[in-house]
A and B are shown apart, each in its own frame.
Chain A
Amino acid sequence: MELYKQGAESKIFTTMYSDRKAIVKERFSRQYRNKLLDLNIRKERTKAEAKAILKCKQGGIATPVIYSLDLNDYKIIMEHINGQTVNEYLTNMKDKKLDDDNNLKKLLMNIGGVIGKMHSLGVFHGDLTTSNIIKKDDDTLVLIDFGLSHFNPSVEDKAVDLYVLERAFISTHSYFEHLFPVILDGYKDAYELDVQGVVNQFHNVRGRGRKRLMIG
């Protein structure tokens, strides 16, 4: 096994599962935090991740295939997705000063679409960033990193998902800041329930940030 990436809470190793390329996602023990807290967080998140990946897949959203789940070692072995994260893709586009507006807009619409569909299925992601969406070469978007997810989200939860994504998007890709509304458009098209309710709540959550300038 070879270390492929170290995120904030897990190590990703590349490996082979039977004859398929796979990754092992291990929620390793974090020495900085209290032992009891550590065990609890690792267990809950490994469980949440496996459950949400499965539920999304059943609902037709591309997620990695889970090959094996080990709750004693907090490990999930899953499919290795070929492609680049949306974060890498957008950073690349900016650096090369590519002016490929149509493709970019299509990608952003699709991002919104996938999230809308996920919410329609009753899944809350909890950590939507452009690093947690992988774009395959055929343009399929694969959602990953469901450690903070849960089921049956409230309108507030869904709005928070969008808000977290917006913040991550604007802070990482300030260059494309003006294009975030395209993601929202994609969301509106795909979300099957009361879309206006979510959008209104999204504006409420946005207004909540501390120390925002306000009149009165």
Chain B
Amino acid sequence: MVISIGFEGSANKLAIGIVKDGEVLANCRRTYITPPGEGFLPRETATHHQNNIVSLLEETIRTSGIQPEQIDIVCFTKGPGIGAPLVSVAAVARTIAQLWNKPLIPVNHCIAHIEMGRLITGSDNPTVLYVSGGNTQVIAYSGNCYRIFGETIDIAVGNCLDRFARVLKLSNDPSPGYNIEQMAKNGKKYLKLPYVVKGMDVSFSGILSYIEEKAQTLLSSGEYTPEDLCFSLQETLFAMLIETTERAMSHCQSKEVLIVGGVGCNERLQEMMKIMCDERNAILYATDERFCIDNGVMIAHTGTLMHNSGYKTTWEDTFCTQRFRTDEVEVTWRS
């Protein structure tokens, strides 16, 4: 039996989770929210994390109902992510590991999303669509490695949505993507946008430039409403994601899809993916905001898997890295 605590803070979410052999004991989170029209910047985000992490740690331990000495391993996000917040959280994880004299396990953030999705949904060997503010990847497991079949060649899908939310001055609470999703529900008129699929890769930056440039004119002329634009943007971006996911499934003859990452809790994306899956007799696995959005439990759980498969941390590995690809990690816990 292993009780594991995980620290996550690679972007604007600060999260700590405690897990005991796949059973979630605590899953606490604080989100740094900026005013409408603004994104989060590294320094301010790091300050948010620094100011909140001690009280969040207390809250997590209290919620879990266990004592610090019962914890077996301390896990933290090594990367990928934004430098300053990553380092802030890692410093606390390192300190805790020293204080409590527990092994420290560095975890890849993307892998953690996948492993958490597999744990919660019970999917066995899915094709994974990982979509968030910083990542957009279509992943499948093969030969001890999560291989990236397709990915964005420029910005992430969540980033594209967030930045368009800034154009419309939508609130960042609880997240810009959530507010776009609500607006899109009332959109009717489809605006034709660029559709950029290259093999299994996608590109979003051209679409964003296009809609950013046109938005003011289209809105002030009354031709389109903000709701229409949110709707059109979502429909286009998500169609690209579903298509590339399906290409990967077709290529690997896969019958399962797992959606993870913050954008993964978008219900329209889940609905579109479900239709695609039904059409090809595949099963869709998705989770809700507790586990889709960055959380500490996923770090704790993945750290447990690494620990159980005999992973030993070297000194060099306790540092953070902003660039840490999904396919760089040797997966020792899956056969």
Contact = CB atoms under 8 A, between A and B. Distances in A.
B149 interface: yes
Given A41-B195, A174-B143, A8 B246 contact: yes
A164 B200 contact: yes
Given A37-B190, A167-B200, A171-B148, A7 B250 contact: yes
B275 A209 contact: no
Nearest to A161: B199
Interface stretch (B29-37, B218-226, B235-243): B235-243
A128 interface: yes
Interface stretch (B88-96, B163-171, B303-311, B321-329): B321-329
How many B residues touch the partner, as a band? Answer: 35 or more
Given A7-B250, A32-B275, A213-B328, A164 B201 contact: yes
A129 interface: yes
B199 A32 contact: no
Interface string A128-170: 1101000000000000000010000000000010001001101
B255 interface: no
Contacts of B275: 31-32
Given A209-B151, A213-B324, A171 B140 contact: yes
Nearest to A87: B251
Contacts of A211: 79-80, 135, 322-325
Interface string B161-194: 0000000000000000000000000000010100
A32 B242 contact: yes
B151 A168 contact: no
B239 A33 contact: yes
Q: For A129, A174, A211, which residue has the most chain B Cβ atoms within 10 angstroms?
A: A211
A212 B251 CA distance: 25
B152 interface: yes
Contacts of B290: none
A73 interface: no
A33 B199 contact: no
Nearest to A171: B147
Contacts of B249: 8
Given A30-B276, A171-B140, A126 B198 contact: yes
How many A residues touch the partner, as a band? Answer: 35 or more
A9 interface: yes
Contacts of B324: 211, 213
Given A32-B242, A36-B192, A167 B149 contact: yes
B102 interface: no
A18 interface: no
A194 to B, nearest CB: 22
Contacts of B250: 6-8, 131
Given A8-B243, A8-B246, A148-B199, A32 B252 contact: no
Interface string A68-103: 000000000000000000010000000000000000
B273 A172 contact: no
A168 B200 contact: yes
A175 interface: yes
A131 B323 contact: no
Nearest to A160: B198
A47 B254 CA distance: 29
Contact of A9 (B150, B201, B243): B243
Q: For B135, B250, B275, which residue has the most chain A Cβ atoms within 10 angstroms?
A: B250
B192 A40 contact: yes
A216 to B, nearest CB: 11
A113 B145 CA distance: 30
B190 A34 contact: yes
Contacts of A41: 195
A168 B273 CA distance: 22
Interface in A155-206: 160, 164, 167-168, 170-172, 174-175
A32 B273 contact: yes
Nearest to A7: B250
Contacts of B54: none
Contacts of B20: none
Contacts of A34: 190, 235-236, 239
A20 interface: no
17 contacts: A8-B243, A32-B272, A32-B276, A34-B236, A35-B190, A40-B192, A41-B195, A127-B247, A148-B197, A148-B199, A160-B199, A164-B198, A167-B148, A209-B151, A211-B325, A213-B324, A213-B325
Interface of A: 6-9, 30-37, 40-41, 87, 126-129, 131, 148, 160, 164, 167-168, 170-172, 174-175, 208-214
Interface of B: 79-80, 135, 140, 142-143, 145, 147-153, 190, 192, 195, 197-201, 235-236, 239, 242-243, 246-247, 249-252, 271-273, 275-276, 279-280, 321-325, 328
Which 3 A/B pairs are nearest by Cβ-Cβ distance?
A164-B199, A8-B246, A32-B272
Given A37-B235, A213-B324, A213-B328, 12 more contacts: A128-B199, A129-B199, A164-B198, A167-B149, A168-B199, A170-B147, A171-B147, A209-B148, A209-B151, A209-B325, A211-B135, A211-B323
